């Protein structure tokens, strides 16, 4: 199978990789970079477990053809805590509000929420719900997750 | 094993020469949210994917005389555009209802239309807004009304060597109000059981001077309900008129409803009868003064 070289920014660092041309961004993150935070759920863009941020926008990395990542900037769940290891306000809020149960949806859920808060620091509950409408959680019933995102928005506001 | 080559042309000329070189072995891909899903689900891939994502100058929403929307415009851009929201409201409604934010961030309106699913959420609004489809091939450009673009389920008049480059919506639509209703069981990540778009214009004495109604999942392709539109013209916007319009739109004169795994024909008929009037009212409220 043909391989393709790609250069992009991953969690702030410039990286290069040479991977099969048919790989998705998700496969590249997990298999090549061994970043296993983004999960494979459905593999067809329906569940949101693979959500990462590309150039500021939340995308389903399972549907993102790897040749398209050239020159882009990718942020995954591994890249949102501070360099010193302090958790991101969203990560703290998910823990404090019991927004995590089995955890499989959590990294995608947080990346969708981060993309929302980066673009809209003071969202309404409706806007929060819309932002995670593509992230399926089969444990929590969503209430704690919506509350966690709301709390993180307030926390970020205070800073 | 899925295998394909992936080409990233930077302009239309390169796209045309790749299409010429690979012919039926190639498939065009834009956002990829239909093409990649099909490859995953069928485990079959074309020999070559030709990506249109490098054609950055086909991502735009402009109003100069008419409205111009580039084929590579994402659903998210349509959702977040104030111009679309206030002047082409049905298209805002439709684009905002597609998939999830993650999908809307990459999925393009050109792809939604070229894929030609009977359930496409932007097709009904574009029909009601009287959009023209602009296709470009090695021989040049041609335009046609979107009502003539779809030939069947997942089939269009686009020739293999052509690329859909733009949608044009006549400037007259600025005097219309419009609305789209996606009827589905969930609020997100759904396909419509039925889609209803209404665009209408009122005269000074509050009669309906012009109207366009379109239906999705009501036939093998998205359709205009011409007979219902004709009935509305010159009439007042009242309950009796709207009820009758809904009946005409749901009749065999306008559509061919069928039973499917997802919804029964009788229920689709009721949806049209209830939501044509509601969307007409909403469209009227949205007319700009």
pLDDT tens digits, one per residue of B213-270: 999 999 999 999 999 999 999 999 999 999 999 999 999 999 999 999 899 999 999 9
Q: Which residues contact B195 (CB under 8 A, 6 or more apart)?
A: B94, B119, B121, B124, B180, B181, B182, B183, B215, B216, B217, B222
Looking at residue A88, the DSSP 8-state letter turns out to be: P
Cβ within 8 Å, pair A43-B76: no
> What's the CA gap between B150 and B165, in Å, rounded?
16
The pLDDT of residue A156: 75
Contact in structure between A67 and A18 (CB atoms under 8 Å): no
Distance from CA of B261 to the nearest CA of A (A): 20
- Asked if the C-beta of A107 comes within 8 angstroms of chain B's C-beta atoms, the answer is no
Distance CA(B84)–CA(A38), nearest Å, equals: 34
Domains and CATH numbers, chain A: 3-79 (3.10.20.30), 89-158 (1.10.150.120)
Pairwise CB contact (< 8 Å): A58 & B101? yes
- For the domain spanning B5-51, the CATH number is 3.30.43.10
- Please state the domain extents for chain B: 5-51, 56-172, 176-285
Joined together, the tokens standing for residue A119 give: 């673009």
Q: Chain A: residue nearest B98 by CA?
A: A134
Closest CB to A60 among B76, B103, B187: B103
Tell me if chain B has a CB within 8 Å of the CB of A130.
yes
Architecture of domain B56-172: 2-Layer Sandwich (3.30)
Nearest-by-Cβ selection for A133 from B41, B76, B188: B188
Q: CA–CA separation, A148 vs A97, rounded Å?
A: 6
Residue-averaged pLDDT of chain A: 96
pLDDT of B289? 67
Q: Which residues of chain B have pLDDT under 50?
A: none
Give pLDDT, residue A155: 82
pLDDT of residue A159: 59
How many angstroms separate the CA atoms of A51 and B100, rounded?
11
Asked if B32 has any chain A CB less than 8 Å from its own CB, the reply is yes
Residue B100 in 3-state DSSP? coil
Q: Does domain B176-285 have CATH number 3.30.390.50?
A: yes
**What residue has token string 């067809």?**
A44
List per-block mean pLDDT (blocks of 10 residues) for chain A, which spans 159 residues. Answer: 96 98 98 98 96 98 98 98 94 96 97 97 97 96 96 80
CB contact under 8 Å between B2 and A58, yes or no, is no
Q: pLDDT, tens digit, for every residue of B161-182?
A: 999 999 999 999 999 999 999 9
pLDDT at B187: 87
- Copy the structure tokens of residue B149: 């673009």
Asked if A57 contacts B105 with a C-beta cutoff of 8 angstroms, the reply is: yes
- Fold identical between B5-51 and B176-285? no
CB atoms within 10 A of CB A156: 16
- Taking an 8 Å cut-off on Cβ atoms, the answer to whether A22 and B2 are in contact is yes
Q: Is A46 on the interface with B (CB under 8 A)?
A: yes
Q: What is the ipTM of this complex?
A: 0.96
């Amino acid at each position: 199978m043909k391989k393709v070289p790609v250069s992009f920014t991953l969690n702030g660092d410039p990286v290069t990789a040479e991977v099969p041309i048919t790989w998705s961004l998700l496969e590249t993150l997990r298999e090549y970079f061994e970043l296993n935070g983004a999960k494979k759920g459905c593999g067809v863009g329906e569940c949101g477990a693979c959500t990462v941020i590309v150039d500021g926008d939340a995308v389903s990395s399972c549907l993102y053809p790897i040749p398209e990542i050239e020159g882009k900037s990718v942020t995954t769940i591994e890249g949102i805590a501070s360099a010193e290891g302090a958790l991101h306000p969203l990560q703290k809020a998910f823990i404090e509000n019991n927004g995590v149960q089995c955890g499989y949806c959590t990294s995608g859920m947080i990346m969708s929420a981060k993309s929302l808060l980066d673009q809209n620091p003071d969202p309404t509950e409706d806007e929060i719900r819309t932002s995670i409408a593509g992230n399926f959680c089969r444990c929590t019933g969503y209430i704690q997750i919506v509350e966690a995102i709301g709390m993180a928005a307030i926390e970020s506001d205070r800073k | 094993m899925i295998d394909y080559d992936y080409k990233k042309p930077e302009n239309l000329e390169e796209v045309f020469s790749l299409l010429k070189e690979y012919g039926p072995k190639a498939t065009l891909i834009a956002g990829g949210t239909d093409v990649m899903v099909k490859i995953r689900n069928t485990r079959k891939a074309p020999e070559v994917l030709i990506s249109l994502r490098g054609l950055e100058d086909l991502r735009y929403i402009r109003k100069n005389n008419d409205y111009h929307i580039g084929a590579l415009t994402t659903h998210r851009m349509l959702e977040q555009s104030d111009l679309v929201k206030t002047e082409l409201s049905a298209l805002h409604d439709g684009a905002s209802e597609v998939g999830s934010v993650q999908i809307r961030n990459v999925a393009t309106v050109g792809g939604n239309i070229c894929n030609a699913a009977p359930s496409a959420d932007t097709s009904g609004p574009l029909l009601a807004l009287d959009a023209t489809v602009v296709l470009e091939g090695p021989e040049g450009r041609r335009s046609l009304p979107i009502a003539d673009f779809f030939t069947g389920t997942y089939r269009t008049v686009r020739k293999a060597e052509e690329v859909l480059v733009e949608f044009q919506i006549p400037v007259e639509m600025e005097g219309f109000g419009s609305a789209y209703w996606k009827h589905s069981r969930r609020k997100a990540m759904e396909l419509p059981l039925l889609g209803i778009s209404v665009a209408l214009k009122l005269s000074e004495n509050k009669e309906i001077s012009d109207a366009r109604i379109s239906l999705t999942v009501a036939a093998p392709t998205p359709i205009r309900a011409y007979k219902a539109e004709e009935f509305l013209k010159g009439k007042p916007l009242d309950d009796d008129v709207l009820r009758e319009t809904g009946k005409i739109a749901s009749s065999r004169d306008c559509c061919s409803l069928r039973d499917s795994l997802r919804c029964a024909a009788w229920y689709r008929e009721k949806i049209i009868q209830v939501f044509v009037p509601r969307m007409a009212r909403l469209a009227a409220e949205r007319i700009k003064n």
